[in-house]
Structure 1
């Protein structure tokens, strides 16, 4: 008589699991957190954390920021009014590029779903010089820059052109 297997399916074999889900789970597990504990830290239910980890989810940006903060993951830029703000070193090449046209790109590729997206913003780069604006950015930022060394010099790209693309795999 054959006995049915009692082994549960491994999370990576679950259909619908995306790069986001795998990364969230890996970071949560590396920190030794349960799904319920992560949920408590970011103001979500543990079952929602399970959903984010195991399904192709599209959480709101606010949810992503809270989860990233709870996991200690850096979000290295902010949308500041009509611009994109980020920190760098005052001595960095980027800081010296103030007053010139620059490009800022953010993208994501998900190997599991064979999809991806990319957004490119082009515009003039400027340094934040107003102490009140800098204070606001420092208190609004949910993480520290991941690059080593001091990164307390705030820069702002004011886009004049924004382009993007969504990449999908033809089945």
Structure 2
């Protein structure tokens, strides 16, 4: 387990709470703590102690190790699957709900070195997948092709997860007014930083997805 950093614990707890769509009041009630104290934990480098952290992890459906950042440098999916797993096909609407507004996905591109799958920070705007990149970076190669874009999520604590595959034509956004609108409305900034002025838009012609859950 990595060295304990109370500030990181609070940030991970807040991120997990938002991921579950829960309010501080709901989580505090589940964990048997005051909402004001939970806010303090999320915003300050505080340590709730073993008992409080155990209750908080249970309220968030995760583990103490996860809140401490255990496995942060490991690929997802190393935990056991749920007992009696069931594979469910997602409807297009369910796929859209899981794509949500923004996050990290992977786009398939063809480069001089061959086919590559590269991660991008994306947003969903007006039903389209959009992301920003540099003109000569690998993700830019998707423009002008029939693009394949994938997003997934794995819940290590509950042993379940889902994946969504988007296929459709991709294009570079060359209209200045459209690019400015994307700049104003997009939720995700490229984590890689740097100058990334090129917008790529993928129009989802086909949405497919699968969910693995407990049987």
The answer to whether structure 1 residue 47 and structure 2 residue 25 are counterparts is: yes
Taking the aligned partners of 2:155 and 2:198, their CA distance within structure 1 comes to 32
State the TM-score, normalized to the length of structure 2. Answer: 0.47
Partner of 2:172: 127
Give the total of aligned pairs.
124
State the TM-score, normalized to the length of structure 1. Answer: 0.58
Taking the aligned partners of 2:177 and 2:203, their CA distance within structure 1 comes to 19
Where 2:178 maps in the other structure, the secondary structure is helix
Where 1:47 maps in the other structure, the secondary structure is helix
Shift of 1:94: 2.4
Shift of 1:139: 1.2
Structure 2: stretches of 5+ with no match in the other structure: 31-55, 62-96, 104-119
Partner of 1:105: 150
Change in 2 beyond 3 A, CA 1:169/1:45: closer
Shift of 1:49: 5.9
Taking the aligned partners of 2:5 and 2:181, their CA distance within structure 1 comes to 29
Q: Which runs of 4+ in 1 moved over 4 A?
A: 48-53
Equivalent residue for 2:8, pick from 30, 39, 51: 30
Matches within 5 A, 1:92-171: 92-170=137-215
Structure 1: stretches of 5+ with no match in the other structure: 1-25, 69-74
Change in 2 beyond 3 A, CA 1:153/1:166: same
Shift of 1:83: 1.5
Taking the aligned partners of 1:86 and 1:125, their CA distance within structure 2 comes to 11
Q: How big is each residue's C-alpha offset from its partner over 1:103-147, in whole Å with a ceiling of 9 and x where there is no partner?
A: 111100011111101000011110111111111111112342112
Change in 2 beyond 3 A, CA 1:108/1:28: farther
Partner of 1:3: none
Taking the aligned partners of 2:10 and 2:60, their CA distance within structure 1 comes to 21
Matches within 5 A, 1:1-40: 29-30=7-8
